[in-house]
């Protein structure tokens, strides 16, 4: 970590262990550190406007996180600011999330949050506070202006940062990039931080611990339709809305009483059909090419490189087949599983992240998989 003595850094303090240790490391390195807590979702939001006065959104405990952040900053002896981006989060992230679900795609709101909130609005707010740099608790590295994978590949979060514009990474610090998660936990314990043992947050903040389908139906009206056995093309059940399912899903499909193993292998949004395959044969989930849209590149793409199709997914060798203005077609000689429309395909040249595109259409043997949205 390059030290700039007494340069001011505003750290995104979330109330978790990672951002706390990021602030600690920067303070030890000689920076003038202050924290900024973002409130992106109204955890007490009432759903009266959507016709359900009994719905109370109380599953994203941001007030507890804020209290934890306050205590952390008190221990560190740094100031904590607070800012609300609730409207902006709704406009730039949550609306996108709902729109993608309506299209039958599987969205990744975390990437939009990073692009439009954490590394845009947050950064602007930090500059108002006199920041020379901003910092977050992401596990990633920066090298010669390029986004790189973190030392801890099990925690590497470069995937979620791949939709950032290159200039958004200017004046940014990732203090945890050279540390493993166990090392971060130990640093927090040694420093007596209140969040040293705090459980990592999982899933999407605005859903929290709530049952996904119960949450979604408060915003998108359920639209039941037929479940089709892809092998026989026969109706075998009823789904409760395509927005509740994703490619490869095995649980909560809606085939109660059927003990045979099954998984979601496709959707037809126009006809409101959900396709399911049975048994352990995953053939329907494999593809060898796809097209990507909403391209964001941080550097030139070599003809051959690797891609990651989901967070924690393996790096898969790919070949760039065609590049258009805002669309790229790629192929992968080794078949890939559950390539899901709406998810990000992130490009890597070894550890260097070169950007991403979002999966549009999926192909196998030069034929578009018609039953994939």
Strands lying side by side in the sheet with 8-12? 80-84, 32-39, 8-12, 133-135, 172-173
Burial (CB count within 10 angstroms: exposed 0-12, middle 13-18, buried 19+), residue 339: buried
Express the helix, strand and coil content of the chain in percent, nearest 5 each.
25, 30, 45
Catalytic residue among 60, 73, 205, 290: 205
Q: Classify residue 135 as exposed, middle or buried by CB count within 10 Å of its CB (0-12, 13-18, 19+).
A: buried
Of these residues, 113, 265, 353, 356, which one is catalytic? 113
Contact indicator for 184, 173 with CB cutoff of 8 Å = no
Say whether 113 is catalytic. yes
Structure tokens that stand for 54 in this block: 């009994």
First-to-last alpha carbon distance for the chain, in angstroms, is 44
**283 within 8 A of 264, measured Cβ to Cβ:** no
Strand-pairing partners, residue 221, are: none
Active site residue 353: no
Q: Helix, strand or coil for residue 224?
A: coil
Using CA atoms, how far apart are residues 50 and 286, in angstroms rounded to an integer? 39
Distance, in Å, from the CA atom of 248 to the CA atom of 38, rounded to the nearest integer, reads 34
Contact 209, 61 (CB under 8 A): no
CB 122 within 8 A of CB 168: no
Which are the catalytic amino acids? 113, 205
């Amino acid at each position: 970590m390059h030290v700039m003595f007494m340069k001011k850094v505003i750290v995104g303090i979330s109330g978790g262990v990672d951002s706390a240790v990021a602030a600690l490391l920067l303070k030890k390195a000689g920076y003038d550190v202050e924290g900024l807590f973002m409130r992106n979702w109204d955890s007490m939001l009432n759903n009266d406007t959507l016709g359900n006065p009994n719905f109370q959104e109380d599953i994203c405990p941001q007030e507890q996180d804020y209290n934890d952040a306050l205590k952390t900053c008190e221990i560190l002896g740094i100031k904590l600011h607070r800012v609300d981006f609730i409207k902006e989060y709704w406009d730039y992230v949550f609306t996108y999330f709902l729109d993608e679900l309506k299209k039958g795609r599987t969205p990744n709101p975390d990437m939009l949050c990073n692009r439009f909130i954490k590394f845009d609005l947050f950064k602007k707010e930090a500059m108002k506070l006199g920041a020379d740099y901003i910092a977050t608790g992401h596990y990633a590295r920066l090298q010669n202006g390029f986004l790189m994978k973190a030392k801890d590949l099990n925690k590497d979060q470069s995937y979620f940062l791949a939709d950032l514009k290159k200039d958004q990474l200017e004046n940014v610090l990732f203090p945890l990039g050279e540390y493993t998660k166990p090392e971060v936990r130990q640093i927090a314990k040694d420093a007596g931080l209140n969040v040293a043992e705090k459980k990592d947050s999982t899933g999407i903040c605005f859903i929290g611990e709530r049952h996904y389908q119960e949450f979604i139906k408060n915003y998108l009206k359920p639209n039941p339709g037929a479940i089709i056995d892809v092998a026989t093309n026969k109706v075998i059940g009823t789904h409760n809305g395509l927005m509740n399912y994703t490619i490869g899903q095995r649980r909560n499909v809606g085939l109660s009483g059927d003990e045979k193993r099954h998984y979601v292998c496709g959707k037809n949004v126009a006809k409101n059909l959900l396709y399911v395959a049975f048994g352990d044969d995953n053939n329907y989930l494999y593809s060898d090419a796809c097209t990507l849209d909403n391209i964001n590149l941080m550097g030139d793409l070599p003809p051959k490189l690797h891609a990651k199709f989901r967070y924690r997914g393996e790096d898969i060798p790919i070949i760039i087949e065609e590049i258009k203005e805002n669309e790229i077609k790629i192929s992968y000689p080794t078949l890939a599983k559950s390539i899901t429309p709406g998810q990000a395909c992130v490009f890597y040249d070894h550890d260097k992240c070169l950007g991403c595109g979002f999966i549009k259409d999926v192909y196998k043997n030069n034929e578009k998989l018609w039953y994939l949205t």
